[in-house]
Amino acid sequence: MDNQRGRRGGSWTAALLFAGVSVVVGCRAADTDGITPVPQLLAFLPWLLAPAGLGLALALLARWWTGVVWALVVLGALAWFIEPYGKTAEPGGPPLATLRVLTSNVEFGRAATALVTAVRRERPDVVFVEECEYTCDATLKRDLGTAYPYRRAVAAGGSEGSVILSRFPLKGTDGVPGTMGMPGALADVDGHPVRLQLAHPMPPLPGQLDVWRRELGALREFAADRADTPTVLAGDFNASQDHAAFRRLLDTGLRDTARLAGADRTPTWPARTAPRLGAQIDHVLVSEDFSARDARFLALADTDHRALIVEVTLHGRP
């Protein structure tokens, strides 16, 4: 009797695990982000292998063969969707210019000093800084103003401030409207125009999903309307490749440089558990004019995000 009761309990536990994972996988298959808690769980899609695997073990112990089949279907779907998303075709034209791009969310400006140290060490050409409030903005002006004489900023407190720093001359653009600052610029990269746009949409918090979708949609509209100008779109997207709203950005033709450089799925948030556990929500996206290599993730003190630095090369049109 106890053995039968144990099997029944194992079957029920496995069924609950499979049901939860199946809802998330089903939304991924249907190309939708669904409702809370699905968007939050989609960010950690690869890690759903753990509850699915536990459910398979329980189903085997309980000799629940229907559950075993269910587990294999769910695990197969997870393995399929874990594959990287987006195009990887290399540009066919000759190389025109190479630039190093860094993006960092400094968490309410707390990591400004750590960022200055990293920038001085890594010497990127363009720096995208999210959550750079007034004190952070002043720190970057004071410590990096000589090396990076060109800047575009949205001056604001808390998480709303953002800054683009550049060694290349910048001409201001309208940027993308959002709850948090998303400045833009047109850079003169060795005589070649390159559009720069910082990304920092709202996170997919419960009750804020409509704002999150709307602001990612605004970034998609920017990407779709780039008018054949080489483009770099970088920042904290608060979304991974497992979110439909982010995949629609990639569907405009933008490439994720982490994938191009062989570092897709490397977590950037939360920094405390990365790289062992987390989600890649910080990205540098580029138009098809660029190739990318040497993507690296930097641990900075006092922020919950890891910075991303990548070397990209602008190619001429064949």
pLDDT for 81 beyond 70: yes
CA distances from 271 to 122, 145, 215, 264 (A): 19, 28, 24, 16
pLDDT surpasses 80 at 6: no
Task: Provide the residue range defining the domain that includes 269.
Answer: 95-315
Asked whether residue 55 falls in the same domain as residue 123, the answer is: no
Q: How large is the average pLDDT for residues 116-140? A: 98
Which domain CATH number covers 198? 3.60.10.10
Residue 87 lies in a domain: no
Q: Does the residue 171 lie in any domain?
A: yes
Compute the Cα dihedral for 218, 150, 234, 290 and give only its sign.
Answer: positive
Based on the fold, state whether residues 70 and 168 are members of the same structural domain.
Answer: no
Confidence of residue 2 (pLDDT cuts 50, 70, 90): low
Residue 181 shares a structural domain with residue 60? no
pLDDT tens, residue by residue, 212-253: 999 999 999 999 998 789 999 999 999 999 999 999 999 999
Number of residues in the chain? 318
Phi, psi of 141 (to 5 degrees): -60, -45
- Both 44 and 149 in one domain: the answer is no
Give a yes or no: residue 88 inside a domain: no
275-310 pLDDT, tens digit each:
889 999 999 999 999 999 999 999 999 999 999 999
Number of domains in the chain: 2
Which tokens hold the place of 149? 């004489």
For the chain, how are helix, strand and coil distributed in percent, rounded to 5? 35, 25, 40
Largest Cα–Cα separation, the chain:
80
Q: Are residues 34 and 6 in the same domain?
A: yes
